[in-house]
Amino acid sequence: SNFIVGLTGGIGSGKTTVSDLFKEHYGIEVVDADVIAREVVQPGSKALAAIRDKFGASILSQEGTLDRAQLRTRVFADPALKTWLNELLHPLIREQMQIQCQQAKSDYVLLSIPLLVENQLQHLTDRILVVDCPEAIQLQRATSRDGVGEAQIKSIMQSQASREQRLAIADDVIVNDTDKPHLLTKVQTLHNKYKAIAQSI
Ligand code: ATP
């Protein structure tokens, strides 16, 4: 089976930037938990039907897609609903992540899971790569990318695992605190390392 490198990091740390470099420069396939989380609730899916039954038809847009903003608000206000939703979606997301990792054809596969630590998904991976940078840089990148205020990004950072918690489970760390060319040299070093490990097993 495939060698799986789990990729994680806090909001704005640079996970997507890093996984894009692995993909574009070395052809490494990326399985993205955020993408899968949207796929499992597409129109026509069993999960979306279950959500409609639980929350009512107003949880769907005119076009029949999930109103994610409303879902977030309602789940935030009601912990029991949040538990229900997680118990519905998490097994489906895990299953899809495993299927897509098995199907990957590259030397190894990157499994990007922003909430890997929070959801304790270490066991899905053979090795964990953490993208890390000072919180001030996370804040600056996330606010300018999303065009939202510092308070909102800070509250998301509060709800996520701490840098220390992530670093505690890291096998490898990319410190993403300078420019993108510099980032590529770090990615190259890790690619060579992962390729060698994948070929040796
Ligand atoms: P999220 O968890 O919020 O999706 P992420 O960890 O995937 O974030 P990215 O989207 O890769 O983070 O990066 C956040 C922003 O910072 C992006 O606009 C990206 O272009 C920029 N960025 C990331 N790394 C660097 C860097 N080394 N130099 C300059 N800009 C960067």
What domains sit in the chain, N to C, each tagged with a CATH number? 1-28+106-201 (3.40.50.300), 37-104 (no CATH)
Helices 15-26 and 180-200 pack at an angle, to 10 degrees, of 60
pLDDT of 25: 98
Ligand 1 binding pocket mutation candidate from 141, 174, 176 (most atoms within 8 A of CB): 141
Query: How high is the pLDDT of residue 1?
Result: 63
- pLDDT means over runs of 10, the chain (201 residues): 94 97 98 97 97 97 95 94 97 97 97 96 97 96 94 94 97 96 97 97 89
Looking at residue 60, what is its pLDDT? 97
The pLDDT score that the predictor gives to residue 73 is 94
Q: Quick check: CB of 183 below 6 Å from ligand 1?
A: yes
Q: Is 77 helix (H, G, I), strand (E, B) or coil?
A: helix
Task: Give me the pLDDT at residue 117, please.
Answer: 97
Answer whether 138 contacts ligand 1 (Cβ < 6 A): no
Whether 187 lines ligand 1, by a CB cut-off of 6 Å, is: no
Q: Whose CA is nearest to atom 28 of ligand 1?
A: 179
Single-letter code of the amino acid located at 97: M
Q: How far away, in angstroms, is 135 Cα from ligand 1 center?
A: 13
pLDDT at position 166, please? Answer: 98
Q: b/e map of 103-130 (b: 16 or more CB within 10 Å)?
A: ebebbbbbbbbbebbebebeebbbbbbb
Ligand 1 binding pocket includes 68 (Cβ within 6 Å): no
CA 138 – ligand 1 centroid, Å: 8
